[in-house]
Amino acid sequence: MTIELESQAVAPETTKTMTMPASAAHVRTSAALRLLAFAASLAAATVVATNRQDRWGITVTFRMFAVWEAFVAINFACAAYALLTAILVRRLVCKQWLHHGDVVTVNLQAASTAGAGAVGSVAMWGNEPSGWFAVCRLYRLYCDRGAVSLALAFVSFAALGVAATLSRFPRTPPPAAVSRS
């Protein structure tokens, strides 16, 4: 007597996967989110890269902190990725790898924003047990610009996150518009 389990049954093969066609609104939304992410990432990187304050002969720049250097580099990279994919979104909407690229970019943006936010938090409020004192009372302009760049980076993170959600299920490209002459 042989007992067969349901899990031993061979599943029928499906040769054709159904993908939904991308609507024009889907492509426009994805492109708009990517352009928003581009603008926010570029602005965040530019604000930090140009941020400097002189006080009592001491100049504070983003080059003093490795986390801010990484923040600038990653935001420039995210801006380039967002712009490139926004320009080519009509062609890329059917590619499965687009979602993977989006997820990597979202995670890089989240990591750089979290790292810079952690350093900014210590600069703002200090950490007396470890010997770090709040310096934002002395360098208020520098810290305020850093906070603005963190907010911009968060906007970029959110826009890229929603774009990554839209790219999760690839779609066929929308049909070309017919010109009426």
CB proximity list for 173: less than 8 A, separation 6 or greater: 21, 22, 90, 91, 93, 94
* Average pLDDT along the chain: 76
3-state secondary structure of 14: coil
pTM here is 0.72
More confident residue, 57 or 60: 57
- pLDDT band at 166, cuts 50/70/90? confident
- For residues 30 and 168, is the Cβ–Cβ distance under 8 A? no
Give the containing element (helix H, strand E) for 156: helix 140-166
Task: Return d(Cα 71, Cα 90) in angstroms, integer.
Answer: 30
**pLDDT tens, position by position, 58-86:** 666 666 677 778 889 999 999 999 898 88
Residue 163: count of CB within 10 angstroms of its CB: 27
**pLDDT tens, position by position, 99-128:** 677 888 889 899 888 888 877 776 666 677
Residue 120: count of CB within 10 angstroms of its CB: 20
- Mean pLDDT of all residues in 142-150: 82
In 3D space, the residue among 112, 138, 110 whose CA is nearest the CA of residue 124 turns out to be 138
- Mean pLDDT of all residues in 140-152: 82
The reported pLDDT for the residue numbered 158 is 92
Domain spans of the chain?
25-50+59-168
